[in-house]
Amino acid sequence: MTMLSQPSTGTNWQRVATVHDLDARGCKTVHVTGRTLVLWHSAGHVYALDNRCPHMGFPLDRGTCRDGILTCHWHAARFDLRTGGTFDPFADDVQVFPVQVRGEEIWVDVGGERDLRAHARARLRDGLEQNIRLVLAKSAIALLEQDGDDREPLRIGLEFGVHHRRLGWGQGLTMLTCFGNLLPHLDAKERPRAVYQGLDAVSRETAGAAQRFILKPLPGPTPPASTLKRWFRQFLAVRDEEGAERVLVSAVRAGLSPAELAELLFAATTDYRYLQIGHALDFVNKALEALDLVGWEPDVTEAVLSSLVPGIAAGSRQEESNAWRHPLDLVALLEQAFPQLPAALTEGRQAQGAWVGRVALAEQVLADDPQATMEALLQALREGATPEQVAGAVSYAAALRIARFHLSNEFGDWDTTLHTFTFAHAVHMGLRRIVTVPEAEAAQAELLRGVGDAAMSIYLDRFLNIPPTRIPEPQPRGDQPERMLEQLLAQLDTQQQVNEVAELVARYLCEGGDERHLLAQLGHALLREDRDFHSIQAVEAAFREYELLRGTPEATHVLIAAARYLAAHAPTPRAQGQTYQIALRLHRGEHLFEG
């Protein structure tokens, strides 16, 4: 028998067995400094490996060794004995340890530890590339343990997603960002699950997709921001994706601030009515929020923002649709109102700070009179409502459509109300974002066109509240709030408990329950399901609007809307959660194969 040729600079050599111990099977399990290793004898060499299969923890001493390849008997993962490298990407490499044979004694150096975070980062990229859900879950848990920086896996997923989908920004990256935004509201133990589900969404959407190559910025001195903005809109007007992308990348390289880049994108996207049924503007908002989460470094910013261009350029424009033209020409109505926005803003500037008409404006938006709605929006600005306040009132109205959605409607129409709400929410967030740009009032006037679009979409959704469902308004009766949180999960284990869940949420807040616990429980209810794109959007947007409405009855209504949407789409098979629980048990060192 010869010594295994594995260089080692370690000093923690341990005598673990003798050569005769391996004679019978060529294999022996040993325990060294709290670690279980397996020794295998093959072709005159002795090899030492961690005995836990890195896939799902099955003991490798129960496997089979042939021609230097060790095969695990549970899922047939195969490993090179010498290096531990796997031939099956789902499994991961197994850790190996240097071996020396000194006469008849076998010594192993157990002092070397691989960089676990570096390994988790590498495996996360493997999981994204190969679309392996268990690998993503294990990587997310490893990277977030012991207060790990959640920005790291989010950034890896973001960069992967924008480079590996030719069509650019889509649902997967939006879900990743939504989960990133939800992290502060979740219990600490839930945060790795949220990151994992976001990464899984990116991996599924990019699987089999063509790679995306980002155009370089214009050479030489960059034109002024005003020129870039004009060119960007001109190229999008004729759906010139490549021209628009190069202008946008040049704007990033020229050093435009995050607020200026946001204003450029929001202005171009609101040149068209309710572009791509609201998704284009929502995607712009989420891409900007993704950069808020991971940082606005130029290379990342170029890749992320340029990924938005395909959706904006190719998106359907509602000025071309029948629903927005007949029987009422809503597009003409909007085009008549838009030129009045700058004057309304100027007139109301001195009165800003005293406007309190949010509920009244929202009810007007929900009414069956689009002409009166547009006049009410303009009048609110004249009376001192800020653009953000007007947008917030319209977002609240869109949430009320969901809160009042009647169950006699077709199930698919939940999505109709959701599209309007997330679009209105994106406009609201955009107006909050661009207040610091040069000539902010002119920029706000342009983005207020999106508020008009949202109001018209709410009008078109009016049939979904005929008849309207009653919003619960319970009175205090001394119920225990924490008990209601348990009941909430129990209700969500049964299909179509929509109104019952709404009643529980309203009663919990009425009884003085801690809003943080409610948000965490709703987040848990979201994460335990195989949630679709729209459910994730509904909860994330509602949580943000709730933060801005906190302390008002309207805040409760927004959470009721989110809870009703969740209840309408529960329960699901919960396959994602099962995978996550397997990954968590493996991380804890549990033996899955024992039951």
Q: Is 51 helix (H, G, I), strand (E, B) or coil?
A: coil
Q: Report how far residue 54's alpha carbon sits from residue 119's, in angstroms, rounded to the nearest whole number.
A: 12
Q: Cα 82 to the chain's mean position, in Å?
A: 40
The interaxial angle of helices 413-433 and 387-403, nearest 10 deg, is 160
* Cross-strand partners of 418: none
Q: Cα 560 to the chain's mean position, in Å?
A: 22
295-348 pLDDT per residue, tens = 999 999 999 999 999 999 999 999 999 999 999 999 999 999 999 999 999 999
Q: Report pLDDT for 294.
A: 98
CA atoms within 13 A on the CB side of 473: 6
Sign of the Cα torsion 226, 230, 231, 233 reads positive
Helix or strand run (H / E) with residue 46: strand 45-50
Q: Report pLDDT for 2.
A: 40
Are 457 and 420 contacting, i.e. CB atoms less than 8 angstroms apart?
yes
Are 539 and 523 contacting, i.e. CB atoms less than 8 angstroms apart?
yes
Q: Report pLDDT for 514.
A: 96
* Cross-strand partners of 99: 108
511-546 pLDDT per residue, tens = 999 999 999 999 999 999 998 899 999 999 999 999
Residues 6 or more apart whose CB falls under 8 angstroms from that of 267 comprise: 229, 233, 443, 446, 447
Are 285 and 278 contacting, i.e. CB atoms less than 8 angstroms apart?
no
The tens-digit pLDDT sequence of the chain (595 residues) is: 344 434 445 578 999 999 999 877 789 999 998 889 999 999 989 999 999 999 999 999 999 999 999 999 999 999 999 999 999 999 999 999 999 999 999 999 988 778 889 999 999 999 999 999 999 999 999 999 877 899 999 999 999 999 999 999 999 999 999 999 999 999 999 999 999 999 999 999 999 999 999 999 999 899 999 999 999 999 999 999 999 999 999 999 999 999 999 999 999 999 999 999 999 999 999 999 999 999 999 999 999 999 999 999 999 999 999 999 999 999 999 999 999 999 999 999 999 999 999 999 999 999 999 999 999 999 999 999 999 999 999 999 999 999 999 999 999 999 999 999 999 999 999 999 999 998 999 999 999 999 999 999 999 999 999 999 999 999 989 889 999 999 999 999 999 999 999 999 999 999 999 999 999 999 999 999 998 899 999 999 999 999 999 999 999 999 999 999 999 999 999 999 999 999 999 999 898 887 6
Whether the ω angle into residue 467 lies within 30 degrees of 0, i.e. cis, is yes
Q: Report how far residue 179's alpha carbon sits from residue 191's, in angstroms, rounded to the nearest whole number.
A: 9
Alpha helices (runs of H) in 164-190, residue ranges in sequence order: 171-182
